[in-house]
Amino acid sequence: MHEAYTVTRYSTPSAVRVLDISAKFLMIVMLFATLLNPEIGNMADKGAEARAIGYPLASFAVPAIWLLFWRDRASFPWLADLFVTITCFTDILGNRMDLYDRIVWFDDWMHFMNTGLLTAAVVLLTLPRSASFGATLERALAFGVPAAVFWEFAEFFAFLSKSTERVSAYPDTLGDLALGSFGAVLAAVIIHSLWQSGRLQNTAPQLDSLLR
């Protein structure tokens, strides 16, 4: 006998869908241009090849999982997917506009914002809307802190280990880890507050129920 599933369907604002698709398309275009000429994207010696592999994989992870496991039981989680895509898109855009070198605090902002956005996506995808603040914060830290650590490892092996910036990498890494952790905490606070106010009730399927 086949197990019966309750199909969860909900509408998503068109602006979210347009932003998500546009960010994916522009990211792919910029990555392709960067691979052809890293100097154009200000990505010379900054792990252009690693980003060209990792960012498409990350930005299409939610669609791939949805197609494999969720499409018969839930609408596509556009908002969570947008949060994941934005983290990849803004990093490539920031390099393309040379913001990392032109603005002193831009790198710090990216670690804070992007870890927060990824954490928000994970919270939306894996917790019920009735989750307590303690559970939301726990889930955010369980993902956000390791994510911040993973990113620092990726940065080091992709380009810092071969760069003169490795001399100052230790204090910078500590700051990035702290900012990423704060971003995860803020994501938990904002998502839980929105849930409590009756918002974001239908933004994503829940992994714990859909993968049973």
C-alpha distance from residue 202 to each of 12, 73, 208 (Å) = 8, 14, 16
pLDDT of amino acid 1: 41
pLDDT of amino acid 169: 53
> Regarding predicted confidence, which is higher, 174 or 212?
174
pTM to 2 decimal places: 0.82
Mean pLDDT, the chain, as a whole number?
82
Strand, coil or helix: what is 140? Answer: helix
**Distance in angstroms (rounded) separating the CA atoms of residues 208 and 212:** 7
pLDDT tens for each residue of 158-201: 555 455 555 455 556 777 888 899 999 999 999 999 999 988 76
C-alpha distance from residue 165 to each of 73, 106, 170, 173 (Å) = 48, 16, 10, 11
> Regarding predicted confidence, which is higher, 28 or 12?
28
Per-domain boundaries in the chain: 14-210
Which positions ≥6 away from 48 have C-beta within 8 Å? Answer: 34, 35, 38, 41
With a pLDDT cut of 70, the percent of the chain lying above it is 77
Give me the amino acid identity at 1.
M
Q: Is the pLDDT of residue 211 over 90?
A: no
- Looking at residue 69, the DSSP 8-state letter turns out to be I
Which residue has 């917790």 as its token pair? Answer: 127
Q: Give strand pairing partners of 74.
A: 8
pLDDT tens for each residue of 95-143: 888 898 899 899 899 999 999 999 999 999 988 888 999 999 999 999 9
